[in-house]
Each structure stands twice: as structure tokens, then as C-alpha cells.
Amino acid sequence: MYQRYLPYFKQIIILSLPIIVGQLGIVLMGVADVIMIGKLKPIHLAAASLANAIYFFIAILGIGTLTAVSPLVAKSKGANEPKQCASIYKQSIHAAFILSLFIGVILFVITENLHWFKQDPAVSLLAKDYLHLLNIGTLPMLLFFAIKQYSDGLGITKPSAIITIIALLINVFLNWVFIYGNLGSPKLELLGAGIATSSARAIMAISMYIYIRSNTIYKPYLKTSENIDNTLYLKQIFTVGIPSGLQYFFEVGAFAFAAIMIGWINEFALAAHQVAINIASITYMIATGISAGGSIAVGEALGEKNKKNIIDFGRAALLMGTLFMTCCAIILAAFAPNIISLYTTDAKVATMATSLLYIAAFFQISDGIQCVGLGVLRGIGDTKIPTVITIFAYWIIGIPLGYILCFKLSFNLYGVWLALLIGLSLSAWLLSKRFLRESNKINVDLVNPLTN
């Protein structure tokens, strides 16, 4: 097995590593925000948790939809169709604008009506302006992600990683200035984190666009043809991408709704949830990097009509995700109190967050498998049934069970997390089983760069 999959491991690592660095940079912006906000009061941490849960509940629909861009580009590249790659790039920009408008309007309405979620009024008041500031950064965030996906699909993954790391450093610096009131700035606390995050996202989008347009390596893939119906590519991005977006929406939405339920307990429980989920998101983002690398490799193999590579790249990615997240589970379980101490000095929050991290250690493996499973299924263009699987696992099983365990059986916030563990495990099993079956059924002779 080792000899069989070693070449595939190497190729996925080459594709994934820069993506992982970039994904870590994005999530570390959130980590930096939480750590720096955590130095204030628990109510600020609770407000950040509520705002981020709601924001990503909606924004993930745009991010997930745009994940369709990289496998589409990889397929076109594998089929030696550079003009199709150029058309997909152009239409991904249009898709980012459309998604930003849609998401921005929904977020504005929700932000003005936070009372719908029945949270502590003081927490909702703090979260409101912070959420408005995050919403301002939606367009640059999605523009960056669209361009990044295009570059990743071409197998050029380092530029976005470097830009993200630079933006992370800028975000930390701006947090230091605006949250705490340094260098003559007023002390803006939570609002300062919102300003810093949206500013960093704008820098990322502008930098990525300038790099793509100025670097000669992209030129063969930026020339469109008048004979190509570009609207077909916009339609294809949404056809493949919306089910992908819904997959992320239902998964992230489950965690967002979990945060809302936990907020019904008290602000300390919500603050503990924010700390624990923030830590778990670091390892999850590495898994999404492996997922993206697997998706690109499978997509390119599909474009090349190489069935063996489709199967073996997918299986190799699933193995990598499983092994990596197993190591992460061991680390989280062994060092939970030490990790939590980096986030908060509040004893009550720290105790609850440490217990949650022990549960998180168990669902690391399931989370990694289901994440990579979604990626490799996306690589073969299979998105509709996986969407149904995520709805079933999270919303038919996970969330109702979480409510019962939390409020009916008095497990409190730990019941919510145990239910999420069960939902993730079910999703992991069903998605990996589906890829193993569907990849064997593919007829590569019927494949073209746009449709499967």
C-alpha cells in the first residue's frame, strides 16, 4: 500500500502544502482576533463568537460555491484547453460580485435583527457593529478566494499562500493598533478587530489580482476566445458550486447554530465554545488544504481521462486526511489545558473550553475524513448527493440531537458538541463510501472539460 500510494501522496503534498499555508493564514487571522479579543472581557469574546458564527453561516455559501473554480480549471488544463481556463477565471470574478451582493444583503438584514437569535442583549449590542464591519470585507474576501481558486486549479498555489501570510501579519498589527488603542488610535476593542480584518482582506484581494495580471506564467491562461460562450462557464460555476456551497453552508451552519444554542445558556458557555471551535478550526483548515489538493489532482486526472489516477488520488487524499487528523487528535488531547491557556485567563471559561477540546480531539478524525471526502467528490463533479448527506448528518441528526442532549438531558454545551461529533462521524462514513463507489463507476470516455 505504501509503495502504491507514495507517488500520489507526494503529488497531493506538492499541491496541498501552499494551499494549507494559505488556509492556515486565513484561519490564523481568526485565531489572532480571538486571542487578542480574549484579553478584554468574556462578553467581548462571546460577542465575537456570535458575530463570527452568523457571518460565516452566510458567507460560507459564497466561499463554498467558489470552490468549484479550481477543479473546473484543473479539468480544462488537463484537457489542454487554456482558453477555457481564461473564461473560467473571468466568470469566477463575476460570480464573486454576484455572491457578495447576495450575501451582503442577507447579512445586513440579519445584523439589524440580532434579537431573532434570543441572545444576551449586551452581547448582541456588541456584536452588531462588529458584524457590519465584517460584512464590508465580504467582497474583497470572495474576490481573493475566486482568484486564488483559479491559480490553485492551474497548480500555482504558492502566491496566494505568501499573500495570505503577509495579510495575517498586517491583521495582527492592525489589531494591536485598533483593539488596544496604540500609535494614537482610539481604543476600539471589538470594533478594532473588525476594521483590521476587513482591511487585511482588501489587501489580499488587491495583491492577488495584481499578481495574476502581471506575472507571465498566467498569460497563456488569460486569453479568452470569441468563439466561447462565457456565460456557459458562469452557469457551470454555479451548477457545480452551489451544491458545494450548500455542503459548506449546512456544515458551518450546524456549528453556527450550535453557537446560537450555546448562547442560550450563558455568555461564559458561548465564550468557551468560541475558544474551542477556534482551536479546532486550525486543524480543520489543514484538512481543507488536503481536500483542495485532492480535488485538484482528481479533477486533472478526470480531464486527462485517467481512471486509475482518479481512484488512487482520491484514496491517497482520504488516507492523508485520516492520518493527519489522528495525529492532531492525540496532540489536542495531550495538551488541552496548555493550549486553552493561550486564549483566556478567565478560570470558568478555561475549564469549560478544556473539556470541549477533549471532545474535539475525538471528532478530529471524522472531520478530516468528511472534509477530504467532499473535496475528492467535488473533483469528479459529484456534489448533489453529498449535499443531501451533509443535510442529513448535521441537520436531521446532529442539531436536533444536540438540542435534546443540551436542554432536555442537561448535558449543557457538552451535549451540543457530542451531537456534532456524531453528525461528523456519520458524514465521514457516508462520503468516503460514496467516493469509493462512484470513482469506480466513472466512464472516462464520456468526460469533457465542463461536464461529467
pLDDT tens figures, 66-92: 988 988 898 888 888 888 888 899 999
Average pLDDT over residues 297-316: 89
**352 residue type, one letter:** M
Question: Rounded to the nearest 5°, which phi and psi values hold at 214?
Answer: -105, -15
Cβ within 8 Å of residue 32, ≥6 positions away: 168, 171, 172, 175
The percent of residues above 90 in pLDDT, for the chain, comes to 45
Q: Using alpha carbons only, what angle is made at residue 443 by residues 440 and 449, rounded to the nearest 5 degrees?
A: 115
Average pLDDT over residues 144-171: 90
- Burial per residue of 231-251, b for 16 or more beta-carbon CB atoms within 10 angstroms, e otherwise: eebbebbbbbbbbbbbbbbbb
pLDDT tens figures, 197-215: 999 999 999 999 999 999 9
How far apart are the C-alpha atoms of 73 and 87, rounded to whole Å? 9
- Give the residue with greater pLDDT, 326 vs 30: 326
pLDDT tens figures, 317-372: 999 999 999 999 999 999 999 989 888 778 888 999 999 999 988 888 898 999 99
Rounded to the nearest integer, the mean pLDDT of the chain is 88
How far apart are the C-alpha atoms of 426 and 267, rounded to whole Å? 30
Average pLDDT over residues 182-193: 92
Based on DSSP, count helices (H) and strands (E) in the chain, helices before strands: 15, 0
- Give the residue with greater pLDDT, 89 vs 18: 89
Q: How confident is the model at residue 113 (pLDDT cuts 50, 70, 90)?
A: very high
Q: Would you say 55 and 328 are in contact if contact means Cβ atoms under 8 Å apart?
A: no
How far apart are the C-alpha atoms of 94 and 200, rounded to whole Å? 22
Decide if pLDDT at 448 tops 60: no
Length of the chain: 452
Eight-class DSSP state of 449: S
Mind giving me the DSSP string for 208-264? HHHHHHH-GGGGGGS---TTS-HHHHHHHHHHHHHHHHHHHHHHHHHHHHHHHHHHT
Average pLDDT over residues 39-54: 84
Cell 478530529 -> residue = 364
Decide if pLDDT at 220 tops 80: yes
How far apart are the C-alpha atoms of 376 and 432, rounded to whole Å? 9
CA terminus-to-terminus distance, the chain: 29
Cβ within 8 Å of residue 427, ≥6 positions away: 251, 366, 370, 373, 389, 390, 393, 394
Q: How confident is the model at residue 451 (pLDDT cuts 50, 70, 90)?
A: very low
Instruction: Return the number of other C-beta atoms located less than 10 Å from residue 118's C-beta.
Output: 11
How far apart are the C-alpha atoms of 115 and 113, rounded to whole Å? 5
Q: In the chain, what are the domain boundaries? A: 2-446
Among 447, 440, 448, CA closest to 308: 440
Mind giving me the DSSP string for 353-417? HHHHHHHHHHHHHHHHHHHHHHHHHHHTT--HHHHHHHIIIIIIIIHHHHHIIIIIS--HHHHHH
Average pLDDT over residues 378-391: 87
Q: By mean pLDDT, which of 15-29, 84-98, 128-142, 152-166 is the weakest?
A: 15-29
Among 334, 321, 296, 301, CA closest to 373: 321
- Burial per residue of 176-198, b for 16 or more beta-carbon CB atoms within 10 angstroms, e otherwise: bbbbbeeeeeeebbbbbbbbbbb
Q: Is the dihedral of CA 76, 78, 81, 87 positive or negative?
A: positive
Q: How confident is the model at residue 447 (pLDDT cuts 50, 70, 90)?
A: low
Decide if pLDDT at 162 tops 80: yes
Decide if pLDDT at 38 tops 80: no
How far apart are the C-alpha atoms of 49 and 30, rounded to whole Å? 11
Average pLDDT over residues 221-242: 80
pLDDT at res. 101: 96
Rg (CA), the chain: 21
Q: How confident is the model at residue 226 (pLDDT cuts 50, 70, 90)?
A: low
Q: Would you say 138 and 95 are in contact if contact means Cβ atoms under 8 Å apart?
A: no
**Helix (H/G/I), strand (E/B), else coil: 447:** coil
How far apart are the C-alpha atoms of 246 and 266, rounded to whole Å? 30
pLDDT tens figures, 261-284: 998 888 888 888 888 888 888 888
The percent of residues above 70 in pLDDT, for the chain, comes to 97
pTM of the full structure: 0.76
Q: Would you say 449 and 435 are in contact if contact means Cβ atoms under 8 Å apart?
A: no
